[in-house]
Amino acid sequence: MDILGDKVICQLIQSLKVRLRKKTISSREQPFLSAPRLIFVCGKEWVDSEETIRNYTIRTLRKCRIANHYGTQNEAVLCIIAEKLYVQDLSEDIFSFEKMLAEISDRIIIVAESPGTFCELGAFVMDEDCRRKTMVINEDNADYENSFITKGPIKKLESLNESSIIRHNGLERIKNSHEYNFKVQEIAKAPLTIAINDNAGSVELKSLIYELANIVELFQPVEYFEIETLYKRLKDFEGYTIKNTADHKIRSIRQVLSLMEKMDMLLRQDGYYILNKNISCYNVMFRISRKEFNDFRIMYLNRLNKCQKSRVDVL
């Protein structure tokens, strides 16, 4: 049967609709906002087994946790790795794609350890929105004092915010650096603010990612078309238009879900979407407590077990 046509499930959806958020949510006001910060980490080409400062930084960020209700913890950070995400279906070229990733990220960390990252650094520093999010990890080497990178983008960033530059003398020194560890932890624990989409004609991609994660967490396991239907029904949107699409090809919720899957935010199993078990976005769209979320899930899964038991078995 069609679960979104079931009377009991429709009543559950309506109970969420009256709790829908109408304005921006901030962890300053909502200490139990458990959604992860999105951190774009650039550096030497990604190779899982290679020991680089970029890889070490990603591993360090992934260890950061945020307290949830009942003494549980979730990952505080979701690291964005461009090489794992880029396909031409989402953007025409890699630079435009990285510009989009920078747009949805809370912070950008650039480890200046390859020619490619020098280009990224120059490009991001020229963009005001990207510049204020950027922190650079750069080698402290006298031979590079007069280089274009040092005298150009790094000097520009440093003049605006001296703390946005970390200088290092190799990976082993980084591992024992108080400055590095303090600043990485500061990024992971920084206040998180998420705007709420209330205009169907101008949907912000970053907000949409968090909102869809919230819907998946509530209704998982859930199919693509059900997610899109739920989003429009809860928001009272007949349709939607994603804004700032000049640099990318993301026009639909299906494409956003594909991006989220590549980000390791979502998993797909037997055609159903499931949220990464290490993160939680349960209260981004809705004014609900963890207990209310748990109560909703119990009622929903009980009904789903009667309507489509095979779907529950996916979990």
pLDDT tens column, 52-79: 889 999 999 999 988 776 667 889 999 9
Task: Output DSSP code: residue 18.
Answer: T
Q: Are 83 and 185 in contact (CB under 8 A)?
A: no
Provide mean pLDDT across the span 161-179. 87
Q: Are 69 and 32 in contact (CB under 8 A)?
A: yes
Q: What percent of the chain shows pLDDT beyond 70?
A: 90
Rounded to the nearest integer, the mean pLDDT of the chain is: 87
pLDDT, tens only, 123-135: 777 777 888 888 8
Predicted confidence at residue 143, as pLDDT, reads 57
Lowest mean pLDDT among 38-52, 191-205, 246-260: 38-52
Predicted confidence at residue 62, as pLDDT, reads 93
Residue labelled with tokens 């789903």: 304
What residue ranges do the domains of the chain occupy? Answer: 3-27+194-312, 37-191
Predicted confidence at residue 199, as pLDDT, reads 95
- Which residues, 6+ apart, have CB-to-CB distance to 137 below 8 Å? 43, 53, 57, 109, 110, 111, 112, 166, 168, 174, 180
Higher pLDDT, 26 or 170: 26
Q: What percent of the chain shows pLDDT beyond 90?
A: 56
Taking each continuous run of H as one helix and of E as one strand, the counts in the chain are: 15, 11
Residue 276's Cβ-side half-sphere holds a number of Cα atoms within 13 Å equal to 21
CA dist., res. 152 & res. 123, Å (int): 11
**CATH classification of 37-191, choosing from 3.10.450, 3.40.50, 3.30.479, 3.30.460?**
3.40.50
Residue 44 banded pLDDT, cuts 50, 70, 90 = confident
* Integer CA distances (angstroms), 234 to 5, 25, 53, 128, 195, in order: 14, 17, 43, 34, 16
Say yes or no to pLDDT of 88 above 60: no
pLDDT, tens only, 225-264: 999 999 999 999 999 999 987 777 889 999 999 999 999 9
Provide mean pLDDT across the span 42-56. 80
Higher pLDDT, 276 or 97: 276
pLDDT, tens only, 10-32: 999 999 999 999 999 999 888 78
- Which residues, 6+ apart, have CB-to-CB distance to 209 below 8 Å? 38, 104, 256, 259, 260, 265
Predicted confidence at residue 292, as pLDDT, reads 94
* Integer CA distances (angstroms), 142 to 2, 52, 119, 179, in order: 67, 21, 21, 20
Provide mean pLDDT across the span 258-287. 95
Cite the DSSP H helix spans in 163-285. Answer: 171-175, 178-188, 205-219, 224-235, 253-262
Name which of 104, 83, 38, 89 is nearest 255 in CA terms: 89
- Rounded to 5°, the CA angle 149-150-152 comes to 65
CA dist., res. 104 & res. 96, Å (int): 13
Say yes or no to pLDDT of 284 above 70: yes
Residue 288's Cβ-side half-sphere holds a number of Cα atoms within 13 Å equal to 23
DSSP string, 262-299: HTTSEEEETTEEEE-TT---TTSSB---HHHHHHHHHH
- Which residues, 6+ apart, have CB-to-CB distance to 187 below 8 Å? 37, 39, 61, 77, 107, 109, 135
User: For the whole model, what pTM was predicted?
Assistant: 0.92
CA dist., res. 84 & res. 46, Å (int): 9
Predicted confidence at residue 39, as pLDDT, reads 95
CA dist., res. 231 & res. 215, Å (int): 8
